[in-house]
Structure 1
Amino acid sequence: MNTKFKRFGMGAGLTTLALVLAACSNSTQHVSKSGIVTRTPPTGFFYGSLYKYVSTPISHLLDSIAHVLGTSSGYGWAILLITLVVRLVLMPFMLRQQRNMTEQQEKTRVLQPQLSLLQKAAKMSQDQTTTMQINGLMQDVYKKNGSSMIPQMGCLMMLVQLPIISGLYQAVAYSKDIANAKFLGIALGHTNLPVTIIATLLYVLQGYLMLQGSTPEQRKTMQTSMWLSPMFTFFISIISPAGLGLYFLGTGIIILIQQLIVTYVMLPSIRKRMDAEMADNPPVEVVTPDMFNADGSITSRAPMPSAMGAMQSMGVAKPTTQDDDSTTGPTAEELRARNAGKQHRDE
């Protein structure tokens, strides 16, 4: 489920950003005799508004910082400085999100024995009633242990950055000074493969460090999602000016440092605290192995889920199965009464 949510969030982000970048790529480009590249800014409602209210302020900010620095690589340093400020602003939120995700993963790790029993039983289920019972018990396992079946959105911070990324793209693409500037020999207005590769590798390394702090069960679900950020970075950087790739490169360095803190400082501390809490307050056992058959199917010894129990207490009829009397037709007493009435009429 965690992987599905991450794929959805990243897919939405990629689609939105691809539409923005596609509009920028389709703009008219002019090259003067001296080799200076200029592009015509967009004028439509959506893309024109994005350029006017997001890209233009970013462009002015880059101009001001580059003017203060006063070096030939001023625009490159300005992009890196903006990257640093953005990441410092987002870092408390990202660290809190990482902490919440880590605590959720640790709770899931402790509850995994019960969840594994129910997951196996779900595969063996042959009817809807049993499936509903298993799903309800799985909800109870999470709820009674203060956890949640809905994972934290790991792509939220990437979505928050979309206005900045698209604005920075347009600022580099449509500003004559920025588009023709260089940073350490890198033309900021043109695509640059080395910058793209380095930025992508930084995100790959960050994903690898994330796996190092995970349990074997968690790695199975994270191995696919760890490639989403590198793919996002590569896809955008390879079709964008190097100025935007420089933003991803700077972001990758900061995120890598952040992941080192999470993996080697925050995670051990959280696990130590969680182990102490579990020692004082063991997890609530909703299901145990003796409630399941040898093949993994659930038995009548398993309890009813809280939700189904509440429905029955409110007078809502429980789902019927083929073994219920309500589906077997008239009872023996009803049949005898009918026969007696028929004999009386015949007389």
Structure 2
Amino acid sequence: MKLLKRYATILVVLFDIYLFTGGYGVHGRIYALVSKPIAKILLQIADAVGGVNAIGWAIIILTAIVRLILLPIMVSQSKKTTISQLKMQKLRPEFEKVQAAVKTAKTPAEQQAASMASMALYRENNISLTGGVSWLTMAIQMPIFSGLYLAIMHAKGLKSASFLGFDLSSPQILFSVLVLVIYLWQAYLTQLHVPAAQKKQTGALMWFMPIMIAGFTFVSSGALGLYFIVGGVFVVAQAFITHLMYAGLKKQVEEDFTILKTADDLLKPTGDNGQSAENFVNQTTRRVRPEDLRPRDVTDEKPREGRNAGKQNRPND
């Protein structure tokens, strides 16, 4: 199953690269292969709805359908990320020991050994280095959201469309304010269970993103503002579902996750002969000596003995 997922991830990522390297405008590959079919569906929904608000309702309906389809995938991704973060919290004291060993290392070999122990903590305790992020999930989402975004940006009849009295072809301050409020709410829910140490690293970015998205909608069309409003509602729903699952996930990690290898296990002398971690690194990362690179003299020091040698030494007749 893991092998199948790996091959699927590689194929989807290669397809994404093919799409995004073909240009991002109306003449690009992603617009031709993804956005045009989405735009046709958008116009069909608008025709079915009818009326002056048809384009606006079509944007809401289509965005909601796409988000609903992807919501289980997004929630599953959030669940895996949360479990990985909880395991990291439980393992934090071990990482602090390794960090202390790196700082107190007296030689480069000791420092390298301690760094290797840090990586080994992840591997030996079955914790993902990517924090539970699924590259396949991300690769699937990117062309869908980008294609929907471009379809709405270049939708036919958008310049003359309106929604509840708001011109969808020009920026709308109210839409930007709603986007800011919605994504600030999502950031708040996301930060609820983040450890204090991690908040210092990621907190500023989490609060900056809503401002950036709101600023983008402020200078773009009302149609894109409407798209981000609907998408934001589903992002908040995803964060709220993760918040409700947090207590259960924490209990699950406390019961099921056990530390298989501690920092002391990985930093102590290894091998049956009491070999130190420093010596182990020296052996596994053996450097080539300069004298090993010099050309060797393959000529024998002594003359060859035997039949040919005897002939060479025979006096001339």
Distance 2:36 2:284 in 1: 63
| CA distance 1:128–1:312, change in 2 (3 Å) | closer
Deviations 1:102-129 (A, max 9, x none): 1110110111011011123323334321
Pairing 1:208-287 to 2, within 5 Å after superposition: 208-227=188-207, 229-263=209-243, 265-278=244-257, 282-287=258-263
Identify the residue that residue 95 of structure 2 maps to in structure 1. Answer: 115
Distance 1:203 1:304 in 2: 50
The runs of 5 or more residues in structure 1 that have no matched partner are 1-15, 24-41, 292-297, 321-347
The runs of 5 or more residues in structure 2 that have no matched partner are 1-19, 288-317
Deviations 1:313-333 (A, max 9, x none): 99946669xxxxxxxxxxxxx
Give yes or no for contact 2:175–2:226 (8 Å, CA) kept in 1.
yes
Please give the TM-score of this superposition, normalised by the length of structure 2: 0.71
Distance 1:163 1:141 in 2: 35
Identify the residue that residue 132 of structure 1 maps to in structure 2. Answer: 112
Which letter does structure 1 place at the counterpart of 2:120?
D
- 1:79 and 2:59 equivalent? yes
- 1:102 and 2:82 equivalent? yes
| CA distance 1:162–1:182, change in 2 (3 Å) | farther
Identify the residue that residue 302 of structure 1 maps to in structure 2. Answer: 268
Deviations 1:144-188 (A, max 9, x none): 222133334489867755444544454445445222111112111
Identity of aligned residues (%): 27
Aligned length: 265
Distance 1:64 1:211 in 2: 40
Distance 1:62 1:171 in 2: 8
Q: What is the DSSP-based 3-state SS (H/G/I as helix, E as strand, rest coil) of the residue aligned with 1:226? A: helix
Which letter does structure 2 place at the counterpart of 1:189?
S
CA drift of 1:131 comes to 1.4
Give the alignment's Cα RMSD to 1 decimal: 3.6
Which letter does structure 1 place at the counterpart of 2:247?
P
Which letter does structure 2 place at the counterpart of 1:276?
E
Please give the TM-score of this superposition, normalised by the length of structure 1: 0.65
CA drift of 1:240 comes to 2.2
Which letter does structure 2 place at the counterpart of 1:114?
E
| CA distance 1:159–1:202, change in 2 (3 Å) | farther
Deviations 1:13-48 (A, max 9, x none): xxx79x84xx5xxxxxxxxxxxxxxxxxx5x5x3xx
CA drift of 1:277 comes to 1.9
CA drift of 1:218 comes to 3.2
| CA distance 1:115–1:221, change in 2 (3 Å) | same
Distance 2:150 2:114 in 1: 52
Give yes or no for contact 1:199–1:248 (8 Å, CA) kept in 2.
yes
Identify the residue that residue 314 of structure 2 maps to in structure 1. Answer: none
| CA distance 1:157–1:182, change in 2 (3 Å) | farther
Pairing 1:1-347 to 2, within 5 Å after superposition: 20=24, 42=26, 44=27, 46=28, 49-153=29-133, 160-227=140-207, 229-263=209-243, 265-278=244-257, 282-288=258-264, 302-304=268-270, 316=283
| CA distance 1:160–1:246, change in 2 (3 Å) | farther
CA drift of 1:82 comes to 0.9
| CA distance 1:73–1:304, change in 2 (3 Å) | farther
| CA distance 1:131–1:176, change in 2 (3 Å) | same
CA drift of 1:216 comes to 2.1
Give yes or no for contact 2:60–2:227 (8 Å, CA) kept in 1.
yes
Which letter does structure 1 place at the counterpart of 2:40?
H
Which letter does structure 2 place at the counterpart of 1:139?
M
CA drift of 1:227 comes to 3.6
